[in-house]
Structure 1
Amino acid sequence: MYDIRPNFIIGFHGCEESVRDKLINRPNEIINSNKPYDWLGHGMYFWENNYTRAQFWAEEKKNNGKITRPAVLGAVIHLGYCCDFLDSKYIRLIQHYYNSYKDLSDLTGDELPKNKDVPNDAHNDKLLRILDCAVIEYMHKSISDTWEKEIEAVGNSLTKVFDTTRGVFTEGGPAFEGAGLFEKSHIQVCVRNPNCIKGFFIPREEVEFPQVDSTKYV
C-alpha cells in the first residue's frame, strides 16, 4: 500500500561540465553507473536535495585529476516503486536476498565479495561497496527473473520491478568533537528506470530578495 513514493524530489549529480551540458541538451541519453562498487547497485546517481554535496564531490574529482571542469546537474525525480532503505521493510528484504546470495555462493564455492576501504581514507568508511552492490544487483536480477517467468507463463505478473533505490549514509568524520553528526552524511538515490527522471536543469544561484518590513503597514 505504501510502496509507491508519490512525491517528486530534487536530485543533484556532480559531474564534468560537458556531461551536464550534454544531458541538458539531450536528456534521453542517460548515463548509468555500472561499477562493481556502486553503493546502491547500478543506475544513475543523485544526491537527494543536496546541491553542496554534489558540488564538493565534483570538486574532489577535479582535485584527483578525474575531471577538469566540475559542475552540478539538477534533476526532478519521481521515485516510483522505490527500494527505500530508510524503510525497515526493505532492510528486511535485502537481508533475505543476502542470505540467498550467501547460500548460492556457498553452493558454488565462490568467495563472497567484501566492502573495502580506499587508500588514504582516514575514516575507513568502506567506500568500495562491492558486497552491497553485488547483493543489491542479485536482488534486482532475482525479481526481474521472476517477473519474466510469470509473463512468459501466464501473460502477466504481480511481481513489481524497482524503479529506484534509496539509502542514507553516514560518511566522513564527526562534524565536531564528540558529535553523532558526520561531515558527509547524505541521502543517495539510484535511478534504474530512466522514466523516473522527469527533467534535467542547470541549478540557479540564489539571489538577494528584499524583505518587506510589515511593521510599516500596521
Structure 2
Amino acid sequence: MAYHQPFQITGFHSCDRDLGLRLLNGSDELRLSDNPWDWLGPGVYFWEQNPHRALTYAVEAARKSQKFSGKIKTPFVIGAIIELGNCLNLIEPNSINIVKEAHVNLLATVRESDEIMPVNKGANRQLDCAVIKFVHQSNKNKGVPRYDTIRSPFQEGGPIYDGANFTDRLHIEICVLNTDLIKGYFLPRPVEEFNPYLNKEFEE
C-alpha cells in the first residue's frame, strides 16, 4: 500500500567524524545497513529531530557500549533533509495493520517450512527485522511500489518518574531505503553542542 507523505523531515545520523566530513564535502554517501538486529530492516537510520540522541549514540558506539556494525573512533553527528515519499509510517493505523498482517503471514510461513521463528532479545531485534523484511518481500511479490522510508516511535530507556509512560530515551527513528530522498547534509548548530569533537580528539 502506498502511503505518500508530502513533506520533509530533519534527521540526524550518528557516525565517525571522517565519514561525516566526507558526507559534507560530497565525496561519500551513506550506505544501507543490513544487520539481523536492525529493527526496521535494511536502510540508513536517522534520529528524527533529535541531534542530542544522535550524539549520545555516537559516543556510546565509540565507547563500544552500543551494538554497532561500523567503527566510530571520533563521535560525529550529521544532519540531513529527508523526503519521506512512500512511507510505512508506524504512527498511523494503516501502516500498523500492514505490519500486524505481515507477522501473521510470516508465522504461518515459518511453521509450514518447519523453521524457527526469530525472536527479539534486547537490542537484537531479529523478529522485528524479519517482519519488516516480510513486508518488503510481500510488496515485491504483489507488484506493490516499494517503500522509500519507514518511520516509527521507539520506546527506550526508563520512566522519567514513578508510573510514567514517558521514557528518558523516547524517540522517533527514520529508516531510509531510497537514498535519493536524502536531499542534502548539513552540520547541526550550535556546532560545539552537537559536534564537540569536530576540532579535538575523543577520549573514551
Superposition TM-score tier, normalisation by shorter sequence:
0.7 to 0.9
**Farther-moved stretch of structure 1 (65-74 vs 95-104):** 65-74
Q: Does 1:141 align with 2:113?
A: no
Q: Does 1:68 align with 2:73?
A: yes
Q: Does 1:52 align with 2:52?
A: yes
Where does residue 176 of structure 2 map in the other structure?
A: 191
Q: Indicate how the Cα distance of structure 1 residues 57 and 107 shifts in structure 2: closer, same or farther if over 3 A, else same.
A: same
What's the TM-score once normalised by structure 1's chain length?
Answer: 0.81
Q: Any unmatched runs of 5+ in structure 2?
A: 66-70, 193-204
Q: Indicate how the Cα distance of structure 1 residues 28 and 3 shifts in structure 2: closer, same or farther if over 3 A, else same.
A: farther
Where does residue 84 of structure 2 map in the other structure?
A: 79
Q: Contact between 1:4 and 1:80, CA under 8 Å: does it hold in 2?
A: yes
Where does residue 200 of structure 2 map in the other structure?
A: none
Q: Indicate how the Cα distance of structure 1 residues 169 and 101 shifts in structure 2: closer, same or farther if over 3 A, else same.
A: same
**Distance in 2 between the 1:63 and 1:206 partners?**
21
One-letter code of the match for 1:23? L
**Distance in 2 between the 1:25 and 1:181 partners?**
38
Q: Contact between 2:37 and 2:129, CA under 8 Å: does it hold in 1?
A: yes
Shift in Å, 1:2: 8.7
1:14 alignment partner, SS class: strand
**Distance in 2 between the 1:78 and 1:67 partners?**
27
The aligned runs of 1:160-199 (5 Å cut-off) are 160-199=145-184
Q: Indicate how the Cα distance of structure 1 residues 144 and 165 shifts in structure 2: closer, same or farther if over 3 A, else same.
A: same
Where does residue 91 of structure 1 map in the other structure?
A: 96
**Distance in 1 between the 2:145 and 2:10 partners?**
24
Output the aligned Cα RMSD: 1.9
What's the TM-score once normalised by structure 2's chain length?
Answer: 0.86
2:118 alignment partner, SS class: coil
1:58 alignment partner, SS class: helix
Q: Indicate how the Cα distance of structure 1 residues 3 and 195 shifts in structure 2: closer, same or farther if over 3 A, else same.
A: same
Q: Contact between 2:2 and 2:87, CA under 8 Å: does it hold in 1?
A: no
Q: Contact between 1:27 and 1:200, CA under 8 Å: does it hold in 2?
A: no
Q: Contact between 2:2 and 2:86, CA under 8 Å: does it hold in 1?
A: no
Q: Contact between 2:19 and 2:28, CA under 8 Å: does it hold in 1?
A: no
Q: Percent identity?
A: 37
Q: Any unmatched runs of 5+ in structure 1?
A: 118-126, 148-158, 208-218
1:99 alignment partner, SS class: helix
**Distance in 2 between the 1:84 and 1:203 partners?**
25
Where does residue 105 of structure 1 map in the other structure?
A: 110
- Runs of 4+ in structure 1 deviating by more than 3 angstroms, as ranges, are none
**Farther-moved stretch of structure 1 (79-88 vs 23-32):** 23-32
Where does residue 40 of structure 1 map in the other structure?
A: 40
One-letter code of the match for 1:91? I
**Distance in 1 between the 2:107 and 2:15 partners?**
35
Shift in Å, 1:27: 6.2
Shift in Å, 1:206: 7.1
**Distance in 2 between the 1:32 and 1:144 partners?**
19
**Distance in 2 between the 1:170 and 1:203 partners?**
25
One-letter code of the match for 1:180? N
**Farther-moved stretch of structure 1 (66-75 vs 163-172):** 66-75
In the TM superposition, what whole-angstrom CA distance separates every residue of 1:181-216 from its partner, at most 9, and x where no partner exists? Answer: 101100000000111110111112179xxxxxxxxx
